[in-house]
């Protein structure tokens, strides 16, 4: 069946709309702030035969761009093999097994079969980050887990809803294994209702344009997406581009993990080869295959935001060499760090490899850590236990157009940070400061953005601090002669003791008493281009604003200030000597 170009564009917009409405419905009705405020969720439409991504909501969390198609594919394979019950109309499968096309246990996927004229036409699926799925620590980010069982409850695909009705027995098992279970019903209903919205809207789209037309359009759109991705690949210089990115440690063994990447343009394809990366690790910094692939896709989409989120767009992107590395972890390796941290290091490797080939499009490395600090304890004044999370941003990389953004969110997220006032309302803490981290942006023609500097004190009771961060060992990479951003720094102040974690960015269960505090300084972004090429007037302004000291202006940028004003002659002479 041949399709006119108008119908094709209109159906493309229609499929996108179905997914965007699912996203909206999910977020608006969700309870967990992680979903409702931080949009840590995603919704999409997947092919019946192989789970290939047909369309996904534009507002979904970036790390999920590629994940759910693998999750759906595994579900389809398991149904075909008879390992999972056959679907019936109204069923919703729940699954969070990382090794079955997932991320970490907290990302819980729902999948609902979509029927048309009595036959399975496609799958509607969504993922939401649950605040807790059990395991050793509240929230699931255990820095010292050595097996997935310590990270929480692992669910194989089971039908949580059977023909539209919630199975109370499965639900009871889940609730008995997770924390704050009483509020979870709100998220479960919101997640299921979003799929129902998708069913209604997709049905309406097919009624309007006809099943054959929509089917033909889906196939054609996939072909077009391949073509579009290939056109972008053609912008990349031929040959092989390499980079290495480092994960500080796995949280258990204090040794850096290497992500070694070579990107090769092979005809129309782009091959991302990770051979030579570190082997699977003991601690939770392993990535599973689906997350590794998705990290490559999201990095490419950061470079080419015009590309639609669809299986076709990813088809020319080939990932190789992950077998036997920590980027393709197998059961029972712990994986809680994969979505929040390792994924960002993979993206950093992609950026670093491609920036020389696409200097106008790619930025220097962003802070690239979620900066996850958890405080769990007891508040005697309110007589209750609490778990507080502080996720933080950092500086973004400089780029061809401008300096990096300060305090941007993680590469894989799009979420807002909670205000200090809300944190202090909810938890027995007092922030001493919440400030821009001066001097942290990597020097460059375009400098990196600045990280965050905060110190938070426990006011009463007892608590334990845990954190899963990264980039403590080396800062985000500068590019094209730009300097690195400042690395992440954590210091725990207990009485007169200043404790710097052995793993720099990861540690678990550090006991705190009243008056003890945690001081966190998040990374700045990498610099872009030679700092000696930076406009001295911009450097002067940076000093006026207190971003750098006068001494740093000279040391990092070769700009000599006299009073607060650039000494042009001295600067020219000094820069000449530096080159």
Partner 1 sequence: MAREATGQVVGVDVGGTFTDLVQIDHQSGAVRLAKVPSTPENQAYGVLNALKAARADLSALDLIVHGTTTTTNAVLERKLSKTGLITTKGFRDVLELGRRTRPQAYGMKGEFRPIIPRDLRLEVPERMDAEGRVVVPLDEAALRAAAADLLAAGCEAVVVHFLHAYANPRHELRAAEVLRDVWPNGYQTLGHALLSESREFERGVTAAVNASVQPLLARYIRQLEQELQEGGYHGQLLVMNGNGGMVSSARVAEEAAKTVMSGPASGVIAAASAGRAAGLPDLITYDMGGTSTDVALIRGAEPSVSNETEIEYAMPIHVPMVDVRTVGAGGGSIARVNAGGLLQVGPESAGADPGPVCYGRGGTEPTISDANLLLGRLDPARIASVEGGVTLEDVRAVFEDRLGRPLGLEATGAAEAVIRVANTKMAGAIRMVSVSLGADPRDFALFAFGGAGPLHASALARELGIPRVLIPPRPGITNAIGCVVADLRHDYVRTLNTGLDALDMDLLRGVFAEQAAAGAALIKTEPVRLSGVKFVYSVDMQFAGQTHLLRVQLERPDVGRDELRRLFEEVYFRRFRVELSEIRANVVNVNTSVIGEREPADLSTLIDPGGRKASLQEARVADREVYFDGWRETPVYRRDWLPPKAVVEGPAVIEQMDTTVLLEPGDLVRSESGGNLLVEIGGGA
Q: How far is CA 107 from CA 23, 185, 282, 450, in A?
A: 15, 16, 21, 30
Q: Does residue 14 bind partner 1 (CB under 8 A)?
A: yes
Residue whose pair of structure tokens reads 């001494």 in the numeric block? 551
Q: Which residues from 62-91 bind partner 1, rule CB under 8 A?
A: 62
Q: Does residue 425 bind partner 1 (CB under 8 A)?
A: yes
Residue 73: CB minimum distance to partner 1, A: 24
| C-alpha 101: how far from chain center | 16
Crossing angle between the packed helical segments 289-303 and 67-80, to the nearest 10 degrees: 150
Q: Does residue 17 bind partner 1 (CB under 8 A)?
A: yes
Residue 461: CB minimum distance to partner 1, A: 15
Q: Does residue 502 bind partner 1 (CB under 8 A)?
A: no
Residue 185: CB minimum distance to partner 1, A: 6
Q: How far is CA 316 from CA 16, 300, 313, 344, 346, in A?
A: 22, 11, 7, 21, 18
User: Cα(217)–Cα(8) distance, rounded to whole angstroms?
Assistant: 6
Return the range that interacts with partner 1 (CB under 8 A); candidates 98-106, 137-145, 179-187, 567-575: 179-187
- Whichever of 136 and 194 has its CB closer to partner 1, that residue is 194
Q: Which of 3, 10, 166, 493 binds partner 1 (CB under 8 A)?
A: 10
Crossing angle between the packed helical segments 5-29 and 211-233, to the nearest 10 degrees: 90
Q: Does residue 33 bind partner 1 (CB under 8 A)?
A: yes
Q: Which residues from 185-204 bind partner 1, rule CB under 8 A?
A: 185-186, 189-190, 193, 196
Q: Which residues from 111-170 bind partner 1, rule CB under 8 A?
A: none
3-state class (DSSP) for residue 93: strand
Q: Which of 85, 166, 282, 420 binds partner 1 (CB under 8 A)?
A: 420
- Whichever of 226 and 311 has its CB closer to partner 1, that residue is 226
Residue 273: CB minimum distance to partner 1, A: 23
Q: Which residues from 342-361 bind partner 1, rule CB under 8 A?
A: 351
Residue 483: CB minimum distance to partner 1, A: 18
Q: Does residue 13 bind partner 1 (CB under 8 A)?
A: yes
Check if the beta carbon of residue 143 is closer than 8 Å to that of residue 248. Answer: no
Residue 138: CB minimum distance to partner 1, A: 15
Task: Collect all residues with Cβ–Cβ distance below 8 Å to 50 and sequence separation of at least 6.
Answer: 73, 76
Return the range that interacts with partner 1 (CB under 8 A); candidates 66-74, 106-114, 403-411, 510-518: 403-411
Residue 148: CB minimum distance to partner 1, A: 28
Q: In the stretch 206-245, what mask flags binding to partner 1 with x, by CB under 8 A? A: ---------------x--xxxxx-xxx-------------
Which residues face 46 on adjacent strands?
53, 123
Within a 13 Å sphere around the CA of 198, how many CA atoms are in the beta-carbon half?
34
Q: Does residue 31 bind partner 1 (CB under 8 A)?
A: yes
43-82 CB burial, b ≥16 within 10 A, e <16? bbbbbbeebbbbbbbebbbbbbbbbbbbbbbbbbebbeee
Check if the beta carbon of residue 393 is closer than 8 Å to that of residue 415. Answer: no
Provide the terminal-to-terminal Cα distance of the chain, rounded to the nearest Å: 64
Q: Which residues from 255-314 bind partner 1, rule CB under 8 A?
A: 298, 301-302, 305-306
- Whichever of 120 and 196 has its CB closer to partner 1, that residue is 196
Return the range that interacts with partner 1 (CB under 8 A); candidates 73-81, 263-271, 284-292, 406-414: 406-414
What is the four-CA torsion angle of 534, 536, 538, 542, rounded to 10 degrees? 100
User: Cα(131)–Cα(50) distance, rounded to whole angstroms?
Assistant: 30
Q: Does residue 24 bind partner 1 (CB under 8 A)?
A: yes
DSSP state of 340: I
Q: Which residues from 363-402 bind partner 1, rule CB under 8 A?
A: 363, 366, 391-393, 396-397, 399, 401-402
Residue 176: CB minimum distance to partner 1, A: 17
Task: Collect all residues with Cβ–Cβ distance below 8 Å to 427 and sequence separation of at least 6.
Answer: 375, 379, 386, 388
Total of residues contacting partner 1 (CB under 8 A): 87
Q: Does residue 326 bind partner 1 (CB under 8 A)?
A: no
Q: Does residue 12 bind partner 1 (CB under 8 A)?
A: yes
Check if the beta carbon of residue 332 is closer than 8 Å to that of residue 147. Answer: yes
User: Cα(81)–Cα(104) distance, rounded to whole angstroms?
Assistant: 25
Q: Which of 5, 168, 383, 495 binds partner 1 (CB under 8 A)?
A: 5
Residue 100: CB minimum distance to partner 1, A: 26
Residue whose pair of structure tokens reads 């305090």 in the numeric block? 407
Residue 175: CB minimum distance to partner 1, A: 12
Residue 503: CB minimum distance to partner 1, A: 24
| 370, two tokens | 């979620």
User: Cα(13)–Cα(170) distance, rounded to whole angstroms?
Assistant: 37
Residue 520: CB minimum distance to partner 1, A: 13
Q: Does residue 407 bind partner 1 (CB under 8 A)?
A: yes
Residue 59: CB minimum distance to partner 1, A: 7
- Whichever of 83 and 535 has its CB closer to partner 1, that residue is 535
Q: Which of 45, 290, 322, 409 binds partner 1 (CB under 8 A)?
A: 409
Task: Give the count of beta carbons closer than 10 Å to the beta carbon of residue 380.
Answer: 12
User: Which H or E run includes 208?
Assistant: helix 184-209
- Whichever of 156 and 186 has its CB closer to partner 1, that residue is 186
Smallest Cα–Cα separation from 564: which of 543, 533, 536?
543
Q: Does residue 36 bind partner 1 (CB under 8 A)?
A: yes
Smallest Cα–Cα separation from 207: which of 380, 5, 11, 369?
11
Residue 164: CB minimum distance to partner 1, A: 13
Return the range that interacts with partner 1 (CB under 8 A); candidates 30-38, 41-49, 253-261, 570-578: 30-38
Return the range that interacts with partner 1 (CB under 8 A); candidates 165-173, 286-294, 423-431, 494-502: 423-431
Q: Which of 403, 470, 484, 489 binds partner 1 (CB under 8 A)?
A: 403
Smallest Cα–Cα separation from 266: which of 236, 300, 226?
236
DSSP state of 149: G
Q: Which residues from 430-449 bind partner 1, rule CB under 8 A?
A: 430-436
Residue 573: CB minimum distance to partner 1, A: 28
Residue whose pair of structure tokens reads 């405020």 in the numeric block? 37
Which residues face 463 on adjacent strands?
377, 512
Percent helix / strand / coil, the chain, rounded to 5? 30, 25, 45
């Amino acid at each position: 069946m041949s399709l006119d170009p108008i119908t094709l564009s209109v159906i493309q917009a229609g499929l996108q709309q179905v997914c965007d409405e699912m996203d909206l419905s999910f977020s608006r009705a969700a309870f967990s702030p992680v979903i409702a405020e931080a949009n840590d969720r995603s919704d999409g439409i997947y092919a019946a035969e192989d789970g290939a991504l047909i369309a996904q909501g534009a507002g979904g969390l970036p790390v999920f761009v590629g994940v759910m198609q693998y999750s759906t594919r595994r579900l389809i394979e398991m149904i075909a093999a008879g390992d999972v019950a056959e679907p019936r109309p109204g069923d919703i499968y729940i699954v969070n097994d990382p090794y079955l096309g997932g991320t970490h246990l907290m990302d819980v996927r729902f999948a609902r079969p979509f029927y048309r004229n009595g036959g399975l036409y496609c799958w509607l699926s969504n993922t939401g980050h649950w605040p807790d799925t059990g395991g050793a620590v509240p929230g699931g980010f255990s820095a010292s887990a050595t097996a997935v069982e310590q990270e929480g409850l692992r669910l194989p695909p089971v039908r949580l809803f059977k023909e539209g009705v919630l199975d109370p027995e499965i639900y009871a098992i889940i609730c008995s294994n997770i924390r704050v279970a009483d509020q979870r019903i709100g998220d479960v209903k919101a997640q299921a209702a979003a799929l129902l919205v998708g069913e209604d809207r997709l049905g309406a789209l097919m009624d309007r344009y006809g099943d054959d037309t929509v089917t033909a359009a889906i196939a054609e759109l996939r072909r077009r997406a391949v073509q579009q991705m290939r056109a972008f690949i053609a912008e990349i210089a031929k040959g092989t581009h390499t980079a290495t990115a480092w994960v500080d440690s796995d949280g258990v063994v204090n040794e850096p993990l290497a992500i070694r990447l070579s990107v090769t343009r092979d005809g129309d394809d782009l091959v991302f080869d990770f051979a030579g990366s570190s082997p699977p690790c003991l601690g939770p910094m392993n990535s599973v295959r689906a997350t590794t692939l998705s990290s490559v896709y999201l990095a490419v989409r950061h470079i080419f935001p015009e590309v639609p989120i669809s299986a076709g767009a990813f088809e020319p992107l080939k990932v190789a060499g992950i077998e036997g590395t920590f980027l393709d972890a197998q059961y029972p390796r712990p994986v809680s760090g994969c979505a929040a941290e390792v994924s960002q290091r993979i993206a950093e490797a992609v950026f670093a490899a491609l920036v020389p080939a696409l200097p106008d499009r790619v930025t220097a490395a962003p802070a690239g850590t979620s900066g996850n600090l958890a405080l769990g304890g007891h508040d005697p004044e309110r007589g209750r236990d609490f778990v507080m999370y502080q996720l933080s941003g950092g500086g973004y990389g400089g780029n061809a157009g401008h300096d990096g953004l300060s305090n941007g969110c993680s590469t894989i997220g799009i979420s807002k940070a909670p205000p200090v006032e809300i944190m202090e309302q909810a938890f027995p803490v007092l922030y001493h400061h919440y400030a821009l981290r001066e001097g942290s942006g990597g020097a460059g023609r375009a400098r990196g953005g600045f990280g965050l500097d905060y110190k938070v004190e426990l006011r009463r009771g007892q608590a334990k601090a845990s954190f899963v961060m990264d980039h403590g060992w080396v800062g985000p990479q500068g590019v094209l002669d730009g300097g690195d951003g400042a690395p992440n720094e954590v210091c725990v102040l207990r009485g007169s003791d200043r404790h710097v974690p052995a793993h720099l960015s990861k540690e678990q269960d550090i006991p705190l008493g009243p008056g003890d505090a945690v001081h966190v300084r998040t990374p700045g972004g990498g610099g872009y281009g030679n700092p000696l090429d930076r406009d001295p007037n911009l450097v002067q302004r940076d000093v006026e604003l207190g971003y750098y000291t006068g001494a740093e202006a000279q040391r990092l940028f070769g700009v000599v200030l006299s009073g607060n004003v650039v000494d042009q002659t001295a600067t020219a002479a000094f820069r000449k000597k530096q080159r």
